[in-house]
Structure 1
């Protein structure tokens, strides 16, 4: 502890830290002094992406003064009152004994228990149909220059930037406060994103998937592996719907998600070509039993939002170059309803792990969308199952949502959770992070009702394919149960077995399976013990 204070003081690496010898009720809670302390605290929190750390009983040079138990409690009372001035609170208090008495380390953060609407939108579409550019333009308010200037906010890997092709899932966010859109000034700045999360009462989080066909597995992970509220499919006006458009639309509909279609790049073609593309989109949607609705005004957007249902598909013509149609997307996302997650939030906590990081100064971080329940920082959790079906004891050190530090998070939120007690090499995508009281039975075999959409020959016992369930992407072995074999167009019951390791799955979960150009969909009907 002494060493850590010394290092912080000398190196100045933690800009969100404040040292206080002591705080007195009679002096520090006077109006003017209290306001100055609140301004100072707000500054520290901004430097710390929503979190400030106060050391009580420590002088400005980092020397440990130590206070009596009574003086520590008085200082904590003052700190709590100052925090309330900026709608914040002590999230965690740690006390340490020193020669002079006691010191305390206090973590201050926003009182973020107030409910925010959080909409998760999966963005799909063929390569070069303007997905990332549209999301970058919508979330920043900056128009594109025709060469993908706003796309670079989402394509962060070197080869993505050089080739202009997304290769992994990206997340972008904007929101609304008092019905007005709030955009990120600099999407590469973590503090800007954190402040946006703090300021908005409705957040729109985009999961930007991959349009290139060889990376279809990543696209499936983005749509199947997140707890999406809506799907957004982009169709370039110059190309129109392609086989990949149909593929992505089929995946979204297999997950029973309501969908929005954006006809992009309308600035590049004639009005006649835009109409031709629109008609092709209409025909495609009607073919799969959906009702297309062209949005031409904000009144149309409000009407669709008020009458939202999975069968009605709003279509908007947009240009990331001129900005045409972006206001209609704003109006639509502002008014589209979000299914209440209160029922899920009351269940034991569980999150499927999507990404795993090692962050300098933080440690192991896992991210994903919380499927159910709530989690608090400092809470004891379980991680697994591993290859033998066992779970590991871990602890949630801290929680962030789009770089905004939170003391808790709940169902429907995309978060990164720093965990302690496990080596990063032992964590695999598809594992779950859960509370000890979650029903976490490892599953190796299960039954499912499936539909074979495409397959060149026949599927018999022993057939193997990659199956996607939530963030799980694993080879399974098939065994048809209703008949000896299955072929394209068939529906039936099958037994599936994970080839290499068990996972946590439940009855009712949607599945998508692929092998080469073969593909099918279904849902889990029975867990085999």
Structure 2
């Protein structure tokens, strides 16, 4: 299919693939969806407080220093509920722990909350540490249940690459598709597939399942044909004797880790830019102060640095008195790392999710901006109908989830699914914004669209 006229300039922004004139020539609406890649959002939505409490931040007692001896990469498991994401995460730590490269985390340790254990599903995104021979990994285990899709976005936005877990007996399901869409939307550059539960799969159907998954990936902008597949059974890997590994057990886990090393590209971190970390969660440590957690978008922060808090409750200047990652102390933290930042003299209520911690004077909070936006179709998980001016969905901007009012351009009565349209958006609360920042638009359980800020108005 010829997607655009020769020499026509196009802009590539994740899901968006639109011309400067915001038109895709010679394509009808039905086929146009096949030419778009999900929007590459830079809204880093954090991991969830539970993750940091359990494995990243305590900032108390005797602590070892974190030593950077290998490149750091953020990966994670995505996919439909009950397809085995958490079991696979546990199996990875089990197999690597036998080589001294991880601390084994059981299924129950990863799914910690009483509701998760009772229901047998992951609700929040859990954060696990392990290493291969070549890399240090932070692994985010994302929830698959529809009701917790916002928490899935929270985890997926952290990843440099994702492991899509698909049950071989069941094939791709509803949340498989939605997680693939959201992965493109939040900017995950690479997916590898783990076909799980191979011990219970019909061999004659596995090839069909693989074909369906490849077609799904290709439909939403990934290279389905070149995507690596690993076939295994995470539950088998957890249970079997290390001295007698099997094809679908521990050998499959070893192969998966090797695929991660070889197929997930090392990310280029924006270390030279001014420090900026979106705040995901905030909590207090008795006698120490207030800790804000999040993933550093750009730059470097050191213990003793003065930083600003920008957002609803601005703090012009505050000192960093401690940094920690995976229960280990840091002298400095840099772009791509998920850390806890101890702030001097602040109460817990002085810092809120959605704000950013930054180098003083480098970013401001705003409420109004214009943006080039792509509106998802029903087939892409979006709305079935269009919307008019005064539509008020939720905007996911970095870690913030804030309501905003949409104003359409003059002479545009409706924005329809599949449209590229320039919107004027006014948020109900001040949010740190800058030109070029990417965001997602959601309404209830639907992802409505995605865009990139063109101009900050006020």
Q: TM class, shorter-chain normalised?
A: 0.7 to 0.9
**Structure 1: gaps spanning 5 or more residues:** 1-46, 51-108, 144-148, 180-201, 294-311
**Do 2:125 and 2:143's aligned partners in 1 also have CA atoms closer than 8 Å?**
yes
The match for 1:373 is 299
**Do 1:267 and 1:321's aligned partners in 2 also have CA atoms closer than 8 Å?**
no
Inter-partner Cα distance in structure 2 for 1:361 and 1:329: 43
Question: 5 Å matches for 1:325-364?
Answer: 325-335=252-262, 336-341=264-269, 344-364=270-290
| Change beyond 3 A, Cα 1:122–1:448 | farther
Inter-partner Cα distance in structure 2 for 1:281 and 1:528: 43
| Change beyond 3 A, Cα 1:290–1:167 | closer
**Do 2:375 and 2:449's aligned partners in 1 also have CA atoms closer than 8 Å?**
yes
| 1:268 paired residue among 185, 200, 203 | 200
The match for 1:120 is 74
Question: 5 Å matches for 1:65-84?
Answer: none
CA RMSD in angstroms, aligned pairs only: 2.1
TM-score, normalised with respect to structure 2: 0.76
Q: 1:361: Cα distance to partner?
A: 4.5
2:145 is the alignment partner of 1:212:
yes
Larger Rg: 1
Greater fraction helix: 1
Inter-partner Cα distance in structure 1 for 2:215 and 2:385: 30
Q: 1:248: Cα distance to partner?
A: 0.9
2:381 is the alignment partner of 1:427:
no
Inter-partner Cα distance in structure 2 for 1:510 and 1:151: 34
| 1:166 paired residue among 119, 122, 132 | 122
What whole-Å deviation, never above 9, does each CA across 1:427-480 have from its counterpart, x for those lacking one? 21111111224x211110111111211223331111011111221111111111
Inter-partner Cα distance in structure 2 for 1:219 and 1:427: 23
The match for 1:3 is none
**Do 1:460 and 1:485's aligned partners in 2 also have CA atoms closer than 8 Å?**
yes
Inter-partner Cα distance in structure 1 for 2:358 and 2:445: 35
2:182 is the alignment partner of 1:251:
yes
**Do 2:110 and 2:126's aligned partners in 1 also have CA atoms closer than 8 Å?**
yes
Inter-partner Cα distance in structure 2 for 1:135 and 1:489: 36
Question: 5 Å matches for 1:488-527?
Answer: 488-499=417-428, 501-518=429-446, 519-527=448-456
Inter-partner Cα distance in structure 1 for 2:118 and 2:288: 30
2:388 is the alignment partner of 1:455:
no
**Structure 2: gaps spanning 5 or more residues:** 1-60, 98-104, 238-247, 377-381
Inter-partner Cα distance in structure 1 for 2:265 and 2:384: 41
Inter-partner Cα distance in structure 2 for 1:408 and 1:142: 27
Q: 1:392: Cα distance to partner?
A: 4.2
Segment of structure 1 superposing worse, 134-143 or 266-275: 134-143
Q: 1:370: Cα distance to partner?
A: 0.7
Question: 5 Å matches for 1:48-63?
Answer: 48-50=62-64
The match for 1:395 is 319
**Do 1:370 and 1:410's aligned partners in 2 also have CA atoms closer than 8 Å?**
yes
What whole-Å deviation, never above 9, does each CA across 1:112-143 have from its counterpart, x for those lacking one? 4x564110114221111111111121123289
Match of 1:171, SS?
Answer: strand
Inter-partner Cα distance in structure 2 for 1:142 and 1:375: 31
The match for 1:446 is 369
Q: 1:393: Cα distance to partner?
A: 2.6
What whole-Å deviation, never above 9, does each CA across 1:31-55 have from its counterpart, x for those lacking one? xxxxxxxxxxxxxxxx8221xxxxx
Q: 1:282: Cα distance to partner?
A: 1.9
Inter-partner Cα distance in structure 1 for 2:400 and 2:328: 27
Match of 1:240, SS?
Answer: coil
Match of 2:129, SS?
Answer: strand
Inter-partner Cα distance in structure 2 for 1:315 and 1:469: 33
| Change beyond 3 A, Cα 1:270–1:362 | farther
**Do 1:238 and 1:265's aligned partners in 2 also have CA atoms closer than 8 Å?**
yes
Inter-partner Cα distance in structure 2 for 1:517 and 1:399: 36
Inter-partner Cα distance in structure 2 for 1:475 and 1:130: 34
2:92 is the alignment partner of 1:138:
yes
| Change beyond 3 A, Cα 1:290–1:457 | closer
Inter-partner Cα distance in structure 2 for 1:315 and 1:509: 33
The match for 1:5 is none
Match of 2:432, SS?
Answer: coil
Match of 2:365, SS?
Answer: coil
Q: 1:372: Cα distance to partner?
A: 0.9
Inter-partner Cα distance in structure 1 for 2:207 and 2:384: 36
What whole-Å deviation, never above 9, does each CA across 1:263-309 have from its counterpart, x for those lacking one? 1121222212322321211221233343335xxxxxxxxxxxxxxxx
TM-score, normalised with respect to structure 1: 0.66
What whole-Å deviation, never above 9, does each CA across 1:330-372 have from its counterpart, x for those lacking one? 111223331232xx11121110011222234433211111111
The match for 1:414 is 338
